[in-house]
Chains A and B, each alone.
Chain A
Amino acid sequence: AQKITQTQPGMFVQEKEAVTLDCTYDTSDPSYGLFWYKQPSSGEMIFLIYQGSYDQQNATEGRYSLNFQKARKSANLVISASQLGDSAMYFCAMREGNGFQKLVFGTGTRLLVSP
């Protein structure tokens, strides 16, 4: 079963606007972590933001915030004030439990920011 679902293959946003990239997950483990990575056209995978299942507040890192809705099992990434350099693939990932579990990635969303 797919544990991480990103339903938006592509998203378009105009520069300076905010955009939300969707991510839903499936787990029965009460302890898990959610991660977002950015992959620009140059290919590297860049860590953006982390949310733990027990965290009370939504994670924020600069222009990135995570809209964590535990009951809905969603962990959407919000990018505020989009910039041209935000154009990239964005991957949501989850790791369950404590100790080693695989980091499971979604299929990604390609974001294109236009001037």
Chain B
Amino acid sequence: DAGVIQSPRHEVTEMGQEVTLRCKPISGHNSLFWYRQTMMRGLELLIYFNNNVPIDDSGMPEDRFSAKMPNASFSTLKIQPSEPRDSAVYFCATEVGQSGTDTQYFGPGTRLTVL
């Protein structure tokens, strides 16, 4: 079975440019999470979707960040304009439903470097 798919795996861009990160969840998983990982702050939950609807975006750091899930098979996280402090690894994770016992499965992550 294919796991969570993220693209690109690595992205290097210059400050001010738009960055789009992509995620394809595991088939049948109804919940999708975007995380950011940095050395300083560890793993932070940015936003969560359930059945394609954003449920909690309180972790999105600024208006420069936006996320969409147009269908059950695809989600994007966009940063516009990007800044050097956005450099991090961005993970997409999915799970079957909305139960406390559900396991989240992570994608391989996108390593973003903003120069």
Contacts and interface: CB of A to CB of B under 8 A. Distances in A.
A97 to B, nearest CB: 5
B100 A33 contact: yes
Given A45-B93, A100-B50, A32 B100 contact: yes
A101 B100 contact: yes
Contact of B42 (A35, A102, A108): A108
Interface in B100-115: 100-101, 103-109, 111
Contacts of A31: 100
Interface in B29-55: 31, 33, 42-43, 45, 48, 50, 55
Interface residues of A, number: 25
Given A33-B101, A43-B109, A52-B101, A103 B56 contact: no
B71 interface: no
Interface in A70-115: 91, 95-103, 105, 107-108
A102 B111 CA distance: 23
Interface in A9-47: 31-33, 35, 37, 43-47
A68 interface: no
A106 to B, nearest CB: 8
Interface of A: 31-33, 35, 37, 43-47, 50, 52, 91, 95-103, 105, 107-108
